[in-house]
Amino acid sequence: MELTWLGWAGVELATDGGATVVIDPLDDPRAVFAPLRADGDFAMPEVTAPTPGAAVAGLVTHLHRDHADAGALASALVPGASVYEPPAGVGDATDALALAQAEYELEQAGLPRREVAPWESVEAGPFTLTALPASDGIGDPQVAWLVEAGGVRVLHLGDTMFHGAWWRIARRHGPFDVVLVPVNGAQVAFPHRIPASPFPAALDPDQAAVAAEILGGEVAIPIHAEGYELDGIYHPVQGAAERFAERAAARGVDTRLLAPGETITVAPAAAIG
């Protein structure tokens, strides 16, 4: 299987036969904070587009705009292919405020969509796709995605917080050839989540290293690392990917840092090259 990091949380996985799936692709980073009128200059992640018109499925870990870009998904998918996403949450419009932008854009794009509950698996082309537990930093529905094909298992953790399902995930679905781990440990202060929490809304480098150790993947790749810092709204850990690699190495976890658009080959229980 070929794995391409698309920047931020985006990943494309391709079989030898050319079928692909995309997870959390992002085409327009600036649009993410547009509802907060963040029009000034701020650091944005470098992203690259997935292969157009090749994906038999689009996987979304959650409906925050940086993980559910309707334009990126529409460009990547073959005609009729579905977007798979976590089950809808409960509550009123304020509870779902962080989901509204992506929800609207997905509806406008007219993409087929299917909700997949944690521990549920679906088939798309040569891929088995399994939604697994995740914990969202501001309480919205989120899943991790396990993608399997040709004996290879790749686990994508979205931008989850630390939680207690790591051991169950490893026991039920491991071993994993690659685990893609969010590491930026952002502290957030969104208008609908006030008073703000001082704790990270996604795994920070130390927490990510512990999660990677528990999951026991052959290789851990940091994602959701560099880019986005808005005063008073979004504060990530600086140099998060490198800090994660140091913390992970201290725990005996092999890591690989990728550049946006970089592709590696993943083989079952084998080294990556």
For 172, residues 6+ apart whose C-beta sits below 8 A from its C-beta are 119
Percent of all residues in the chain with a pLDDT value above 90, rounded to a whole number: 80
- In three-state secondary structure terms, 20 is strand
112-134: average pLDDT: 98
* Residue 20 domain boundaries: 2-265
Lowest mean pLDDT among 30-39, 114-123, 191-200: 30-39
Residue pair 4/180 in contact by the 8 Å Cβ criterion: no
> 272 pLDDT band (50/70/90 cuts)?
very low
Percent of all residues in the chain with a pLDDT value above 70, rounded to a whole number: 96
> 194 pLDDT band (50/70/90 cuts)?
confident
Entry pTM: 0.95
Residue 273 lies inside a defined structural domain of this protein: no
Residue 270 lies inside a defined structural domain of this protein: no
pLDDT at residue 190, as a whole number: 84
Lowest mean pLDDT among 38-47, 226-235, 237-246: 38-47
pLDDT at residue 39, as a whole number: 57
Residue 34 lies inside a defined structural domain of this protein: yes
Helix (H) or strand (E) holding 220: strand 219-223
Residue 150 lies inside a defined structural domain of this protein: yes
> 35 pLDDT band (50/70/90 cuts)?
low
Residue 9 has pLDDT above 50, yes or no: yes
Residue 272 lies inside a defined structural domain of this protein: no
- In three-state secondary structure terms, 254 is coil
* Type of residue numbered 237: V
Selected residue with higher pLDDT from 146 and 93: 146
Residue 255 lies inside a defined structural domain of this protein: yes
Residue pair 203/182 in contact by the 8 Å Cβ criterion: yes
- CATH number of the domain that 32 lies in? 3.60.15.10
* Domain total in the chain: 1
For 118, residues 6+ apart whose C-beta sits below 8 A from its C-beta are 86, 131, 132, 133, 134, 143
- In three-state secondary structure terms, 121 is strand
226-246: average pLDDT: 90
pLDDT at residue 38, as a whole number: 56
The predicted-structure confidence for 53-91, as pLDDT tens digits, reads as follows 999 999 999 999 999 999 999 999 999 999 999 998 877
138-144: average pLDDT: 96
Q: What is 22-41 written as a DSSP string? A: EES--S-GGGGGGGGT--S-
